[in-house]
Each structure stands twice: as structure tokens, then as C-alpha cells.
Amino acid sequence: MDKEQRKRWKRSSLQTKQILAFTTIIVSFMAIMFFLHIRTLKTVREMTYDKMRAQAEYYLESFEMEVSHAINLQIEIFNDRKLAFLAQPEAGLDDFEKRDALLSVKEKLSSIAGVSNLVESCTIYMPKSEYKITDSAVRRMNADDFEEMWSFVDYENGSISYDGEKFYSVEMGQTRGDEDEAFNFMFVLTFSGGQIENKLSLLNTTANSGAFIYSDKYHAMVQSSTAHCSSARILSELKKDEQGEYVKVQEVKAGGENYLVFVGGNGSMGTFVQYTEEGAVMGYIKQSWIYLSIGLLILLGISIFFVIYTNRTIHKPIGLLLEAFGRVKEGNLNQHIYRNTEDEFSYLYSGFNDMEDRLKHLIDEVYIQTNLAQRAQLKQLQAQINPHFLYNSFFTLSRRIKRQDYENAEEFAKHLGNYFRYLTRSGSDYITLDQEVSHAKSYAAIQGVRFAGRLSIEFEELPKRFAPVMVPRLILQPLLENAFEHGLENRVKDGLLRISFTETPSEIHITVEDNGEEAEDSDIEQMQRSIEEMESDEVTGIINIHKRLQFYFDKKAGIFVRRSELGGVSVTIWILTEAAFRREDGKEG
């Protein structure tokens, strides 16, 4: 808080300070609770991700273990010698040996199918001996069986394949040389899509969660049977890193809901993804925030009630007392204040009324002396105005008469007469602004003749609204005199003096500015300080005018000095509008 802000704070009312204090407390409390709420949300989110990560890792480990075990058994079966004999018709097995070998292979297939509920079926095709052995039956291959077998030929050995409905692991006893050459046997291990979906459903720990496996190779997706949201939507919103890999932990928005998503590693069937709706996890936390917000609103209501209560019991009585002091300041000493209740303010009001009566008595005693002393001081200040241009004016008039320029000499003498008639007029010390401006125009015309060819004068018309405003005599002409003497006297050509009238929302401005010799900024600043502090030893010039304006308008008028846009000095008379038009009746202050 800088110095100016501290001053404004000290000047602010008790009610303002009280409201600011309550606001600061409530805002601080809300900020702390909001921070704690955010921290809690972050902690819960992190715990949720940790739980999802643990579930995913356990699921993937058990899932891959089951799949890998089944595939290992699939590969090991090729070491069975009976299978090798069955695949070759020329092996010379009798019917009993062949039947025993077939049943043995069937039993092994049944054991493989039973190692995991993920395995839907196990089938071995032996095209040369034309046998089809499954985990439940043994029979000769027909045309449909051959067609079915050939549909698996292009599947890659040693990896999981997908046909759009089911996953398959295909292993061949030997590599086929060409399309017309048959191979010894083909082992097709089929995984149940439904069982995979049920397995994924075990991860649906909440009503609004789900999981799926996505294969980039086949663009295939298997999702849990009870998935809350479309897995395709979740997948389409997943973000990837710079290497093109899915970000492990992320938040996505799908179907108008926010989801916490964990992307597991790539398994044998594809990428594992688990998700849960954020609202289901954060619901309690958000609900507690609602309760907290209600509590804050109640606290805010209590604070407002307390402010209203203190306003009625403290601030309004103080305001009434301040209004009474304001009336005293304006000179109204005839209105006492009272309070119905007997409390501290009743005592203060009684003391104020006694003080008001005492002030009225004192003012009655000293009013005449004070008023006469002030008028005498104004007379003295006005008398100190130095009309030093008088001599030059007479010399100018004399030269015109000698040149027999009688017409211009007459005009010049007329302006000079008006000027002196104004100065020597006896009467009120205060005149209308219109009369003061007319006198300044006569002075400007006289000086315009004196500086003819060296400068021009721009004198704006006085707005009619300003004409009846009462002002002290000789407040404008001395400013013109100062501009001629200190700004334009040494100007050889292109001099400019401008007198303008403007009105702001609250003030009347009369500005005298020139483009004369450029004064130093430090000189202008020093001049303004002298005006503000009225510290000059001799009350002359601009300070003279400033003092008289301050006296007459009760410090609601004065002068300020600044750098002119024309390059020289700008001197502005300012009068508060309310003070100016309150004195239109012509009464002296």
C-alpha cells in the first residue's frame, strides 16, 4: 500500500472499513477452503489413479498369465508322438492304436480348454489323415471342415489373431510349401469374447466405470459387458505423447461427462484401458463443497445482518452528528439534534448542542470585526496591482498623434479610457465575470497595438452562462499583463496569446496561455508550489489573484500553473461551479 492509498484508507468511513474487514475475512476463509477443496480433489484423484493402476496391473498379469499358459500348452502338444503318427496316414497304425492316439489327443485338448475359462475351444485339423479333433469330439473332416481350416491358414503363427468376433491362436505342425501342398496339422485355440468381456466387467468397481481392450492391428475392441460409456468415445478422446504412445494417466470428456482414464500396457490381445466417471469418485467431495458453500452463504448472511445492525445503531447516529457538523461548517447554527434513547449518542448530541450555542454567541461578538478585517485585506491586495504598462501606452498614443494617425489614436485612447475608468471606479469590490472580461479585452487591445506585427491575440467569447458569475475585480487582466511581460515581450515575431473559457463537470476554467519564451519546468513547478503554499513574502501578481479568489470563494477557487500546449506557460483560474453560481446574486462573501 503506497502513501496515497494509506491516506485514502485513513479518510474512509468506519462503515467502509468494517465492510472491508468482513469482506477480507470471508474472502480469506473462502480462499483457504477452496484451496483445501482443490487439494482434496487432487488427492482423491491421485488415489483413484493408484487404485486403477493396481487393478489394471493385477488384471493384466492374471489375464496374460492365463492366455500365455494356454498358448504354451498349445505349443507343447506338438511334442506328442501320437499326434505325429496320427498326422501321417502312412504311419501304419492299426485301428486300436489309432483310436487310442485320437482319444489321447482329445483328452489333452480337453485339459487345455479347462485351464482357463477364457479358452472357448481347442481344435486340431489333420488334413493328410483327414481328422478333426476338438476338446469334445473326434471325427473325419468333411468339406466344411476343410474350408474352415483353410480360413485359418493366413493367421500368423505365435500371435493372437482376431476375425471381428473372436480371438484365435493358430499353430501349424509344419510350414506349407505352396497352396496345393497340405501340412501335417493345424492347432486352433479359440478364446471366448464373452468371457473376456466378463473378465473386464470385474474391473467395473462403480456404476459409472468400464474397461476395454483395443487392438491397433485389427482395429478391434472388446469392452466390459456392463460398460457405462461407449468405449469408442473414450478411445477417440485419448491423448498420445510425442512418441505416439497413449498417455498412461489422463482425463477425457465423453458423452458430456468427465472420466478418469488409465491406459495399461500392451498385452497379447491389445491395449488395456480402464476408466471411471469422475463424478462417481468425486461426488462426495463435491457434495461436501456444496454444504461448505451453504455454510459460507450463511456466514455471509450473518455478516450482512451485523453490518446492517451496526449501521442502524452506530453509523446512522454518527452520520447524523457529521451532518450537523457540516451545517455548522456552512454557518447554520440554528438546528439542534436529539435522540430518543438514553445512550452514549444522546450524551454526544447534548454536548454538540451546547457547543453550537456557544459558537453562535462567539460569532455574534466577532463577526463585524472579522468581516471588516477581511474586506480591508482584500482592498490592500487589490491596491498592490502594478499598472506598469501605463507609461508605454502613453508613449504609443503620443507616437500615433505625431504621425497624424488620428483614427487609430482615437480608438487606442478609447480603450485606454475604458481601462482607467475600470481601475478607478469606486463601488463594489466584486463585479460580474462579463465586466472583468470586457476590461481584459480593452487591456489586450492596448497591448495588441503596442506589439503590433510581433504577435496575435486569440480571445474567445465568454459563454453567456458564465456572464453573471460574480468575481473579485482584476483577476484576469493581471494574468494577461504577466504573459506580455514575461513570455511575449522579447518575442520578435509569431507570438500568440490565447484566452479561453471551458467548463468541466464540476469547475469553470479561464485559461491564459502563450507561446513565449520557454520557461524551465522547474520554474513552473516552483511557481505552482508558491501558489499552493502562498509562501511569497510580497503578495503580488499571480499569488495576489490566487489569495483573493481563495478568500472570496471560501477556498473553492484558485489558480494552477502548467506547461502550455503552445510551448509557453498556461495559467488557469478555476472556480467550483457550485460556488460560482451560488454567488450570482452579487452578495459579497
Report pLDDT digits (tens) over 197-230: 887 887 776 667 788 888 887 777 888 766 556 6
Q: What is the pLDDT of residue 384?
A: 44
Model confidence at 371, pLDDT cuts 50, 70, 90, reads very low
Place of cell 490565447: 498
pLDDT higher than threshold 80 for residue 525: yes
Q: What is the pLDDT of residue 56?
A: 72
Report pLDDT digits (tens) over 230-265: 678 888 888 888 888 888 888 888 877 888 888 877
> What average pLDDT does this structure show over 339-356?
76
The backbone torsions φ and ψ at residue 216, rounded to the nearest 5 degrees and listed phi first, read: -65, -35
- Domains of the chain, by residue range, sit at 80-191, 333-378, 384-582
The mean predicted confidence, pLDDT, of the chain is 78
pLDDT higher than threshold 80 for residue 107: yes
More confident residue, 112 or 36: 112
Q: What is the pLDDT of residue 115?
A: 85
Pick the CATH number of 80-191 from 2.160.10, 1.10.3470, 1.10.20, 3.30.450: 3.30.450
Residue 148: other Cβ atoms inside 10 A = 15
The one-character DSSP state at 312 is: I
Superfamily, domain 384-582? Histidine kinase-like ATPase, C-terminal domain (3.30.565.10)
Report pLDDT digits (tens) over 288-331: 667 777 877 887 787 777 777 777 777 777 777 777 777 777 77
> What average pLDDT does this structure show over 88-117?
83
More confident residue, 501 or 447: 501
**Grid coordinates of 399:** 507616437
Choose among 315, 333, 311: nearest CA to 324.
333
Choose among 186, 131, 128: nearest CA to 154.
186
Cα distance between residue 16 and residue 583, in whole Å? 35
Place of cell 488415489: 47
**Grid coordinates of 404:** 497624424
Place of cell 494509506: 6
Task: Give the HSE-up count for residue 214: Cα atoms under 13 Å, Cβ half-sphere.
Answer: 16
Report pLDDT digits (tens) over 532-545: 776 554 445 788 78
Report pLDDT digits (tens) over 373-393: 344 445 544 544 445 556 777
Task: Give the HSE-up count for residue 45: Cα atoms under 13 Å, Cβ half-sphere.
Answer: 17
Range with the lowest mean pLDDT among 244-248, 347-351, 463-467, 525-529?
347-351
Choose among 473, 495, 494, 474: nearest CA to 483.
495
Cα distance between residue 307 and residue 29, in whole Å? 18
The backbone torsions φ and ψ at residue 213, rounded to the nearest 5 degrees and listed phi first, read: -120, 130
Cβ-contact 437, 462 below 8 angstroms: yes
| Percent of the chain topping pLDDT 70 | 83
> What average pLDDT does this structure show over 456-484?
88
Helices (H), 185-332: 193-201, 231-237, 278-310, 316-329
Q: What is the pLDDT of residue 369?
A: 43
H helix or E strand, kind and range, residue 481: helix 477-483
More confident residue, 267 or 1: 267
Close Cβ partners of 11 (under 8 Å, ≥ 6 residues apart): none
> What average pLDDT does this structure show over 467-475?
88
Handedness of CA 320, 321, 324, 330 (dihedral sign): negative
